[in-house]
Amino acid sequence: MTGAPQFPSDAQLPPHAQGLRGSHDPAVPSGPTGSTGPTTVLVIAKEPVPGRVKTRLTPPYAPHEAAQLAEAALCDTLRAVGAMPARRRVLVLDGRPGSWLPTGFDVRPQGTGGLDERLAAAFAESTGPTLLIGMDTPQVTPQLLAPALDIGAWDDCDAWFGAAEDGGFWALGLGCPEPGLLRGVPMSTAHTGAAQRARLTAAGLRVRDLPPLRDVDTAEDADRVAADAPGGRFAATLARLRPVGSR
Type of residue numbered 112: T
Whole-number pLDDT of residue 245? 56
d(CA 231, CA 110): 30
d(CA 18, CA 181): 11
Cα dihedral sign for 167, 232, 134, 216? positive
> Burial of 93 by CB count in 10 Å (0-12 exposed, 13-18 middle, 19+ buried)?
buried
Neighbour count for residue 12 (Cβ, 10 Å):
10
Domain ranges across the chain: 40-241
Q: Could you tell me the CATH superfamily of domain 40-241?
A: Spore Coat Polysaccharide Biosynthesis Protein SpsA; Chain A (3.90.550.10)
Residues with Cβ < 8 Å from 75, sequence gap 6 or more?
A: 100, 138, 233, 234
Collapse the DSSP code of 199 into the 3-class scheme (helix H, G, I; strand E, B; otherwise coil) and give the result: helix
* Stretch (H or E) spanning 219: helix 219-228
Along the 247 residues of the chain, how does pLDDT read in single tens digits? 333 333 333 333 333 344 443 333 333 333 333 457 899 999 999 999 999 999 999 999 999 999 999 999 999 999 999 999 999 999 999 999 999 999 999 999 999 999 999 999 999 999 999 999 999 999 999 999 999 999 999 999 999 999 999 999 999 999 999 999 999 999 999 999 999 999 999 999 999 999 999 999 999 999 999 999 999 999 999 999 976 556 5
Type of residue numbered 191: H
First to last CA, the chain: 59
Q: Chain centroid to CA 102: how far?
A: 18
Whole-number pLDDT of residue 242? 74
* Stretch (H or E) spanning 202: helix 192-202
Q: What is the DSSP string of 141-198?
A: -HHHHHHHHSTTTTSS-SEEEEEETTSSEEEEEESS--GGGTTTPPPSSTTHHHHHHH
Whole-number pLDDT of residue 146? 98
d(CA 207, CA 156): 9
Collapse the DSSP code of 238 into the 3-class scheme (helix H, G, I; strand E, B; otherwise coil) and give the result: helix
